[in-house]
Amino acid sequence: MSHPHQSMLDEFQYAIKHSVPTLPPVIKQEAQKLHDDLAQNEALDEAAIKHAFYTIGIKEYPYRHAYEELTNSTAEEMLNKMVLEHVDETVRAVIKPHLEEGVSLSELVSSDLFIESLDAKQRYQVEDGILVAQDKLAEILRNRVGEQAQQYQALVDEWTRKAQKIEEAIEELEQLAQGGDETQQAEIRNKVERFREGFLVTEPDPELELVKKEIEYWKDTFAQEE
């Protein structure tokens, strides 16, 4: 018999499997243990499972953003170089001009050109090359003392501060639920819940500006009612 919330657990497992390669192993191990524990407890309701996802999502958030920001900028050249070295000359001749024009690897592998210009074995070369390159880059970022590693850690710290600011703003919004009538309080709490769900490892990220706008809206609303 499958778990009552098996689809949520499947999403969680997918997110764990596809986490950024620089996510500290201790967090990935914690996430996997949490998933396995949840899978064994069919009595848990959706709220309890979401709370569990949140505990991992808030820890994963800065590492994912730091990795994505770095690989989308300075480290992207390193990834491209490693992938080009991984594939054979025929494949290299097809993909290199597009990479030099600024097309990212992710854009390339999802394009029609990728399917139309390369056969299945050649596409596998590129896809395998990306995985190998990402692992190599992750090792560099984790262990090498140098510009890339220092830049990565700086980004992790920056995104950690951003996450804290979002959490603080959500808490400020939650405090506003003490005012207004029951309908307004319920609406604010629903907004708070949705913003917090943005930190779930399986959901889109919360945006600080959207939380701030919600705070301003309710402050203005309550001020006008006085």
Domain interval for residue 198: 6-71+148-225
For residue 163, name the pLDDT band (cuts at 50, 70, 90): very high
More confident residue, 5 or 10: 10
Domain boundary among 143, 162, 182: 143
The span from the CA of 44 to the CA of 4, in Å, is 9
Is residue 136 domain-resident?
Answer: yes
Is residue 207 domain-resident?
Answer: yes
Share of the chain above pLDDT 90, in %: 51
102 and 56 inside one domain: no
Mean pLDDT of the chain: 88
Domain boundary among 105, 124, 143: 143
Is residue 139 domain-resident?
Answer: yes
115 and 218 inside one domain: no
Number of domains the chain contains: 2
185 and 155 inside one domain: yes
Is residue 58 domain-resident?
Answer: yes
79 and 120 inside one domain: yes
Give the CA dihedral 196, 152, 22, 60, nearest 10 degrees. -10
User: How do residues 112-149 score in pLDDT, each as one tens digit?
Assistant: 988 999 999 999 999 999 989 888 877 776 665 456 77
User: How do residues 141-156 score in pLDDT, each as one tens digit?
Assistant: 666 545 677 888 899 9
Closest CA to 142 of 162, 156, 132: 156
Is residue 1 domain-resident?
Answer: no
Is residue 19 domain-resident?
Answer: yes
Domain boundary among 92, 126, 143: 143
15 and 117 inside one domain: no
E-strand ranges in the chain read none
Is residue 116 domain-resident?
Answer: yes
User: How do residues 47-93 score in pLDDT, each as one tens digit?
Assistant: 888 888 899 999 999 999 988 887 766 677 888 999 999 999 999 99
Is residue 88 domain-resident?
Answer: yes
Quick check: 202 pLDDT over 60? yes
The confidence score (pLDDT) of residue 145 equals 43
Q: What is the 3-state secondary structure (H, E, C) of 34-45?
A: HHHHHHHCCCCC
67 and 156 inside one domain: yes
39 and 53 inside one domain: yes
18 and 129 inside one domain: no
Vertex 96, ends 93 and 94: CA angle to 5°? 40
The confidence score (pLDDT) of residue 76 equals 78
221 and 156 inside one domain: yes
17 and 53 inside one domain: yes
Q: Tokens for 78, please give them.
A: 């390193």
